[in-house]
Chain A
Amino acid sequence: MSSAADIVERLRAGERVAVARLISWAENGDARFAEALGSVFEDVGRGRRTGITGPPGAGKSTLTNELTGLQRAAGRTVGILAVDPSSPFSGGALLGDRIRMEERTSDPGVFIRSMASRGSHGGLARAAIDACDVMDAFGYEELLVETVGVGQAEFDVMEAVDTVVVVLCPGAGDGIQAMKAGLLEVADVLVVNKADVAGAERLLTDLEDAVALRRRAEGAWEPPVVACSAGRGEGVEGVWEAVEHHRRWLAEDGRLRARRARLRIAQVRGAVAEGLAARLWGSGGLTERARSLLEEGGTPYDVAADLLSAVSARVVEPEEVSGS
């Protein structure tokens, strides 16, 4: 059993298996992860993070593979995190994204990690940002994060990357559905993939109209709409140009710094919520108290108010905050 210090040393020595092991520790909630991250955190932040999201089968993996090819041709290294859903029944998962990236397997400049969403419902996995941090610390320059196929409300990716690419395709719903789903709101770049398929032209104009119609704050970014056929390797340069365009915009006026700060705050809040939940519900005492209050006829809100006042006194006790 290796220590955090061992793994960090191997990471610094350029061993890819150390990247893999650290990501597993993050996924498994292994206490050694936090220690290891602490010793490499100064190296985190150089990699550029791009999210690839969109409905199931839109071509996210195919596009990720093509974008990786472009980056490799430009001499840049690429770390990929590909998230697929866990089964809510068995807790297991079939992780199939990397099949579309098979040609990258033997390229030492590319690292691909598949990850199951486990308990998360936001389109990513709890350890997704951790995995990016590890690949970033190792030195991968471009980090690409593929989400699970999203429906209408899974947008964790916007709190995880610098630039969100939303991939749509003809046949998987029309422009109205895209608007309803809020995908337009999270998109920094909108891609109509499968431009070779009937209906692509229509989807493109629908999206352009939707983007033009949207109310937007003064000076806010307007997502470009780009068509491509990732499956044929056509038009992907245009997608990457749009990503770079967004990057140039982010580089102005401290926007990138602000976006990343927001990301880290969201991550801290998530970690605090998780820790609090474990402490609150772990012993089972509060659940018991809720059960008996409900039996006495309290509404869920009465019961919640009772529990909140019962714990809030303790939560703010100074020794609870500064100690342990």
Chain B
Amino acid sequence: MTDRKIRVLVGKPGLDGHDRGAKTVATVLRDHGMEVIYTGLHQTPEMIAEVAAQEDVDVVGLSILSGAHMELFPRVRAELEQRGLGEVMLVGGGIIPPEDAAALEAQGYARLFGPGTPTEEIAEWIKARMGERLAAEGGGA
């Protein structure tokens, strides 16, 4: 009997204290049937990657509104890769100017969602993307 759920880590790297968006997204993903681990504020990139490893998540979602995303998002990606977690899907949100979003997407982030994105859209997008991945892997991982 297989019972595959999408597991998502929602993390807040750095000193940014804006957590409304991260908490909102975490709750909405839960309401769409995902299992969500929220790390709380002030995490280092190492901590986020370590939690992702122990929790065996499918998706790591980061939230930054302070402007430090170009520094911190790539570091989280590097920490994940160092732990052999390069396959994990990376998404993010917050105050991210379009040119930064494009640069991050070119580095391997699947997608960045700016302010005002309807939360339904975020959940549906992640579900669809993960659905494709799981189908390609034959349902397992």
Contact = CB atoms under 8 A, between A and B. Distances in A.
- Check if A and B associate: yes
Interface of A: 1, 16-17, 19-21, 23-24, 27-30, 32, 86-87, 89-96, 98-99, 102, 105-106, 111-114, 116, 118-119, 274, 278
Contact of A94 (B26, B54, B83, B85): B26
A306 B96 CA distance: 65
B36 interface: yes
Interface in B83-141: 83-85, 137-138, 140-141
B38 A17 contact: no
Interface stretch (B44-52, B61-69, B70-78): B44-52
A94 B47 contact: no
Contacts of A105: 47, 50-51
Interface string B9-41: 000000000000000001101111111111110
B86 to A, nearest CB: 12
Given A98-B51, A105-B51, A30 B2 contact: yes
Contacts of A90: 30-33
A94 B138 CA distance: 27
A28 B5 CA distance: 8
Give the residue among B4, B35, B137 with the most A Cβ atoms within 10 A.
B35
B56 interface: yes
A49 B32 CA distance: 34
A1 B33 contact: no
Nearest to B48: A105
A278 B26 contact: no
B56 A24 contact: yes
A99 B53 contact: no
A17 B85 contact: yes
Contact of A87 (B3, B31, B54, B140): B31
